[in-house]
Amino acid sequence: MEVDELFITTASVMYDAVYISGGQQSIETLKQQGDAIHLVNEAFKHCKAIAATGEGVELLKASNITGVKLADAQGQIQSDKGVVTAPAASDMQSFAQQFIQAIAQHRHWMRDHKEMVPA
C-alpha cells in the first residue's frame, strides 16, 4: 500500500483505523514527536480501531490512552476495546483477523475515560 499522508498533515478522524508497525528506530523517533502521539490519542478518543505490532506497541504506551490491555514483548496478541496489539513474533494471520473485526465494529464506545485523553 502506498503512503499518501503523514501524521503531520492529516488527522486520525479522516480514517477508520490506525495501524502502527514495529521498527525500533522509527518508534523511538515517533515517541519524540508530539504530532504522532496526538494522532494516537485522537484515534483512541474518537473510538477508532487501533492496532500495533512489535515495537509499535511502545508508541501506544507513550500515548495517553488508558484502560486497555496491551501485548508485551513475550505475550500473546491482545484485543481490548478495539485496540489490537501483538509482539513481533506473533501469528500475524490471527492478528489481522482481530484487527479486521475491530475495524468492522466501526467505533468502540466502551472505552473508559476516553474523555480524559488530550486530543
Please report the DSSP string for 32-89 in residue order. T-HHHHHHHHHHHHTT-EEEEETTHHHHHHHSS--S-----TTS--EEETTEEEE-SS
Q: State which H helix or E strand residue 104 sits in.
A: helix 92-104
- 12-109: CATH topology: Rossmann fold (3.40.50)
pLDDT per residue as tens digits for the range 94-118? 999 999 999 999 899 888 777 766 6
Integer-rounded Cα Rg, in Å, for the chain is: 13
Query: Residue 1 pLDDT more than 70?
Result: no
User: If you average pLDDT over every residue of the chain, what do you get?
Assistant: 89
pLDDT per residue as tens digits for the range 49-92? 999 999 999 999 999 999 999 998 778 999 999 999 999 877 89
Residues composing the chain: 119
